[in-house]
Amino acid sequence: MTFLQFINLQLKSKIRSVSLGRDLVAGIFLLIIGLFLLGYVILISVSLPFIIRSFLGVDDAIGFLNSYILFFFATEFLYRFFLQKLPVAELQHYLHLPIPRWKIVHFLLQRSFISLLNIIAILLLVPFTIIEVAGHYGALSAISWLGTIVLISWSVHWVTLVFKRGIGDRVIGYLVMLTVYLLSFGAQYYGWYSIGEWVKPFFDLAIHSPFPMGLSMMLLAGSYYGAYQYYRKRAYEEDIEEKGSNFVENSQIDFLSRFGTAGAFADMEWKLILRHKKSRSYLYISALFLLYALLFYPTFEIAESSFDQHFSLFIGLFITGSFLFNYGQFNLSWNSANFDYYLIQKNGIESYIQGKAILFVAISLICYLLSIPYIYYGWPIFFIHTAAFIFNIGVSIHLLTLISFWKPKPMDINKGAMFNYEGLGAAQFLMVLPMIGIPYIIYLPFALSVGYEVGLAVLSIIGLVGIIYFKKITRFLIGRLYKNRHEISSSFRQEL
Amino acid sequence: MITIESLKKVYDFTTVLEIPELIIPQSQCFGLVGNNGAGKTTLLRLILDLIRASAGEVFIEGENVTKVENWKKVTGAYLDDHMLLGYLTPDEYFEVLRKVHKMSDADLKLHNERFESFFNDEILGQKKYIRDLSKGNKKRVGISAAFFGNPQLVLLDEPFESLDPSSQIRLKKIVEKEKEEKSTTFMISSHDLDHVTEVCERIVLLEKGVIKQDITGTREDKFEVLNTYFSG
């Protein structure tokens, strides 16, 4: 078996996926967004020398960039952490075949390298390199300088792979991410450029000597080898599956029992969320967003700055809705394994949809209540969060449920860890766009023309209408699901 | 063919398998029997180096399975659906296997002829992905996949389960023929005492990860021993 044959199989698995429609739309959107971003990247890169010279008034553009390059790598690490997918799930299809284990691991790792993320550094810096570095120091210097940066950027790819698999889904992983965030933000706010200055000589040297490029080459080789060793050691079936102490704790939520069957289903769902790595990580993310606001609010002048007010809506939507956005978009997929069970229950579908709604409202409410202390930074924050909360539970919940009916992907939640990573791809974040975009489309016209209070009021009213007609909307959703039940249930039975 | 030395598998402080010694000679058809949770699949997975042993070693033809990988060339296995590529049709999957096992087109044709009656025109030439096949048909694809590349050792986990009666009988014939013509070694786990006593000359009874009995003899003898054990 060759690498090309392996890639060919990978392509087939994508093309023939039962959720192709959904994947395709997501893919096209991602491509459009990607092209936009790349366009920006190119725009920035072309104007980079100009920006540095004219706006920042720095003469030594290269030196300036060199002192900032560390933050570029930090940012890269952050987005790679969220966007990069881990090549583990494929393992089990090949392990028993007469292909050496090292070869399979190399295939999987090298496949993961084929990604748009790995050309960003090149695109971002090529124009600058041609204009500035090549212009002043010649082609060889340009190659050496750009090469050094690109090779380090590629090393970040391998480091991220190990990091994400190692501690990425534990609390500590999120803490590390938060620290990196805080450090780079802090550096921007308070001007600790000393770390950047500290590594600057290395990149300065790259212009005059091939030595740094050689060193980054070694770094790349070393990080690939490290990633290989790491994945090679873990290339066992038991590492793909979620293991760990399957301690059973009683996590019954008593108040749910008031809602009858729907409550029982909600309670079941809550247990699923707690006992599965991926869904648990969504809870962590929600907590993270609660803290995330701390980065912004202290610097906001919420009473005066209208930009700050508009931006706070974004934060409010995220705080009260991040769990919804993450979990809700695969609403049905979570139950793909026992979807038939709901179908054969009396009022099963009805209670199923209601149970989900109850749970989402409860989680959203908890996040909202926890965010109330932000009043400390100004009353407007309270109103903004309230409007965001009302809109989320009045409109977004239903919208997400509706979206989740469309070509749902079966998810084998018993095979924990491998799907644990699947949910953290780029497509996952895509769904966030309409969930943020729609409220803004409603809010902005009023907020810009009259005042942000009016924008919030309109949002709240629409949300309230959604809450008042909660039953009616749920009935509509139930009807939709009921109509598509055969198609959905058969798609859940496919795909290994 | 297979030598197992003080093999042990522990999950979270519970020992799920502990075998001090087990030797399976060439061309033996070795049956594994035991109630759920006895450790049958764990043993098969350990032999295939799909999971790590907590202690001890497995040797296939004298090779430690965790150290070298040459044994993979002489070993075929089908344990569960995940070993297949669900997004391919059976023909495409066999084509992939042909390349992996470095076989010629003629080899593949020969292989398919061998399984012609087992497939019963329901596998080859079908415009269906493996994931859309019924349970029994998936199993037929998987079992025949385990015979690719003329293996000297074939491991099958519950091969009779979910196969229709004619396929069960045909599978037994295939196993017997392979054993006779190529002196292939088999390791078959099963809950079906009828089939396993018929096709396997030696049967090991596992319970809670420990070997309780190692049975040889005539079919009736083996069946009798097992029947008494499981009734009790």
The per-residue pLDDT for A1 is 73
What pLDDT, on the 0 to 100 scale, is given for residue B17? Answer: 92
Residue in B50, B92, B132 nearest the CB of A494: B132
Chain B's closest residue to A100, CA to CA, is B69
Residue contact B149–A495, C-beta within 8 A: no
- The neighbour count for residue A283, using CB atoms within 10 Å, is 17
Contact list in A for residue B79 (CB cut-off 8 A) is 96
Nearest CA in chain A to B101: A98
Token pair 């990633």: residue: A227
Nearest to A237 among B51, B72, B92 (CB): B51
Cβ under 8 Å to B: A residues 374-413: none
Each residue of A364-423: pLDDT tens digit?
999 999 888 888 888 888 899 999 999 999 999 998 888 888 777 777 666 544 444 444
Q: Which band of pLDDT confidence, cut at 50, 70 and 90, is reported for residue A72?
A: confident
B82, B83, B89, B132: best mutation site toward chain A, by most A Cβ within 10 Å?
B82
What is chain A's mean pLDDT, rounded? 80
Would you call A496 and B84 a contact, using CB atoms and an 8 Å cutoff? Answer: yes
Question: What is the mean predicted confidence (pLDDT) over A456-478?
Answer: 91
The pLDDT, as a whole number, for residue A23 is 67
CB crowding A152-170: b at 16 or more within 10 Å, else e: bbbbbbbbbbbbbbeebbe
Answer for the pair B75, B48: CB distance below 8 angstroms, yes or no: yes
Q: What is the distance between the alpha carbons of residues B218 and A277, in angstroms, rounded to a whole number?
A: 51
Residue B25, phi then psi, degrees to nearest 5 = -75, 165
- Interface of chain B toward chain A, CB-CB under 8 angstroms: 11-12, 45, 48-52, 69, 72-73, 75, 77, 79, 81-88, 92, 96-97, 99-101, 129-132, 149
Query: For strand B185-189 and strand B153-157, is the pairing parallel, antiparallel, or unpaired?
Result: parallel
pLDDT-above-90 percentage for chain A: 14
Mutation target to probe the A interface, by most A beta carbons within 10 A, among B13, B44, B48, B50 is B50
Q: Which residues of A touch B97 (CB under 8 A)?
A: 97
- Position A246 scores a pLDDT of 45
E strand map for A382-439: none
Q: Is the pLDDT of residue B107 over 70?
A: yes
Total length of chain B:
232
Virtual CA dihedral for B123, B127, B132, B136, nearest 10 degrees? Answer: -10
Residue B58's DSSP bridge partners are: B4
**List of long-range contacts for B118-123, beta carbons under 8 Å, 24+ apart:** B118/B143, B118/B144, B118/B167, B118/B170, B118/B171, B118/B174, B119/B144, B120/B166, B120/B167, B123/B90
Specify which residues B155 forms β-bridges with: B77, B187
The string of DSSP codes covering A170-188 is SHHHHHHHHHHHHHHHHHH
Average of per-residue pLDDT across A314-323: 89
Is the minimum CB–CB distance between A101 and chain B shorter than 8 Å? yes
- The CA angle A14-A15-A17, to the nearest 5 degrees, is 65
Q: pLDDT category, A97, cuts 50, 70, 90?
A: confident
Nearest CA-CA partner of A323 in A334, A312, A309:
A334
Residue contact A1–B81, C-beta within 8 A: no
Contact list in A for residue B73 (CB cut-off 8 A) is 98
B50–A12 C-beta distance less than 8 A: no
Output the pLDDT for position A251.
57
**Structure token digits, residue B183:** 């002196």
Inter-chain CB proximity B81 and A496 less than 8 Å:
yes
Chain B CB within 8 Å of residue A93 CB:
yes
pLDDT at residue A245 in the model: 42
- The pLDDT score that the predictor gives to residue A252 is 60
Confidence of residue B139 (pLDDT cuts 50, 70, 90): very high
- pLDDT (average), residues A138-162: 90
Interchain CB contact of A252 with B (< 8 Å): no
Span A213-272, pLDDT tens digits: 999 999 999 999 999 999 888 888 777 654 444 445 555 666 666 777 788 888 888 888
What are B116-129's pLDDT values in tens digits?
999 988 899 888 88
Which tens digit of pLDDT belongs to each residue from B34-83?
998 888 999 999 998 888 899 999 999 988 988 888 888 889 999 988 88
pLDDT at A325: 87
Residues of B in contact with A7 (CB under 8 A): none
- Across A205-211, average pLDDT: 87
3-state class of B24 per DSSP? strand
* Distance of alpha carbon A301 from alpha carbon A326, whole angstroms: 30
Q: Is A54 on the interface with B (CB under 8 A)?
A: no
Whole-number Å distance between alpha carbons of A212 and A202: 7
Q: Is the pTM of this model over 0.80?
A: no
Percent of chain A with pLDDT over 70: 83
Q: Do B79 and A101 touch (CB under 8 A)?
A: no
For A269-282, what is the mean pLDDT?
79
Q: Which 8-state DSSP code applies to residue B232?
A: -
Chain A environment of B88 (Cβ under 8 Å): 9, 12
Cβ neighbours of B61 in A, within 8 Å: none
A190: Cβ–Cβ under 8 A, 6 or more apart, which residues? Answer: none
Chain B contact for A495, CB < 8 A?
yes
Nearest CA-CA distance, residue A231 and chain B, Å: 14
Identify the pLDDT of residue A426.
58
Cβ atoms of residues A64 and A133 within 8 Å: no
Banded pLDDT at B144 (limits 50, 70, 90): very high
